[in-house]
Each structure stands twice: as structure tokens, then as C-alpha cells.
Amino acid sequence: MENYLIFATYIVFYCFVHSLLADPFILKDIYNEWWYRASYVFQSVILLFPMVFFYFKLPDTSFFNPASPIREMLLVIFLFALLFGLYAAKSYDNKSFLGIKQIKKHLDSGVEHFEVHRELTSHGALRYVRHPYYFTGIVLLWSRPLFVKDLVLNIVFSLYFILGSINEERKLKIIFGEQYRTYAENVPMLLPKFLNPLYWLKK
């Protein structure tokens, strides 16, 4: 039990650090520096290693191991979420997200301060859900057989995704104001509209 508590505590720590270092309002002095985004991605990956270590140290005690046809249904859901996540990636500037664009611009022209052009995007997956990556993450976590240690990980990360989406909403409303509020009125936060039965009833 103590090992599970350590595992859960580290996941909470990881989520807290990940969220804190991604907030432009807290780190406004360095957030747009050319090196910051790549450093953020790097530390996010490095901090995953202890989590993986703790995970594999815990026993493979089964919690949820469904038989056919539920197992196959879960696989279909998992693959759907994976494909939706890949589709959602097309709606974002991934080179900027990973810090590649900032580094390239610095090396090419010596730019130190990288101002991100903020434009509200509502195409692709963002037509159906406001936070497609969070939706994808939650579905991928739960659409598979689970060990007890998976249950711990899934609960903490699901809460993080939900709270993270709420925090993102706060920041986006500050940045885009009424434009984002109008968008939010027409597009759901976490459940894509095509998965909501009410959406089809209104058709």
C-alpha cells in the first residue's frame, strides 16, 4: 500500500510541475524565450522516467481484465481515440509546441524572444471538442485492461486532465475574451459533440 501511495504522490508532483511550468501568466518573464519551450518538453520527458520506474516496481495485480467481446470493444475504442488524437494534432502548431520552431528561428536569425502569434483555431478536431488532447488521453487511459497500479495512474491523470482543461479555459478566456466564450457556447469542453446523443437528436 505504501508503494502505491508513493507512486500516486509522484504522479501528483509530476502533474503539478507540468502545469506550473506551462502557465504563461506565472512564468511571463521567460515563457517566450527561445529556449523555454524545448526545455519544458525536455524536463517533462525526464520527469517521466521515475514514474515509469515506480510503475514497473509495483506488482501486476489485475483489477479489470474483461473477456470477449468486451476486450475487442475496448480495443476499438482505444484505436478510435488514438486516431482522433492523431487527427487532433493537425489542428496545432506542433513544431512550436515542441520548441523546434523557436530553436530554428534563434539559430537562423539570432532571435532571443519568440512571440507566439495567438489565433483562436476552430478547425479540425477543434470543431468537435475544445480540448481534444485531454479527451484522447482520458479515453486511452480507460479503454484497456487494468492492473491496480493502472487504476492509481488513471485516476490521478484523469483528474489532472479535467482540472487542466478548466485551467486552460481560464487562460483562453483571458487571451481571447468574448471570441472564446462564443466558441465555448457551440463546442463542448471534453466530450466531442458527435458522441453526445443530444447532438444527433437536434439534427
The string of pLDDT tens digits covering residues 49-61 is 999 999 999 999 9
| Phi and psi, residue 25, nearest 5° | -80, -25
Among candidate residues 189, 194, 199, 183, the one with its CA nearest the CA of residue 122? 183
How high is the pLDDT of residue 116? 61
Q: What are phi and psi of 124, to 5 degrees?
A: 60, -135
Q: How far apart are alpha carbons 198 and 201 in whole angstroms?
A: 5
Q: What residues are paired with 147 via a beta bridge?
A: 62
Q: Return the H-helix or E-strand segment holding 147.
A: strand 146-147
Cα separation, 93 vs 11, whole angstroms: 27
Domain residue limits at 135: 2-201
Q: How many domains does the chain have?
A: 1
34 and 112 Cβ atoms separated by less than 8 Å: yes
pTM: 0.89
What is the mean pLDDT of each successive set of 10 residues along the chain, which is 203 residues long? 92 93 74 81 94 95 94 97 96 84 78 70 92 97 97 97 93 91 94 83 67
Q: What is the pLDDT of residue 114?
A: 67
From residue 194, alpha-carbon distances to 81, 125, 166, 188, 197 in Å are: 13, 11, 21, 10, 8
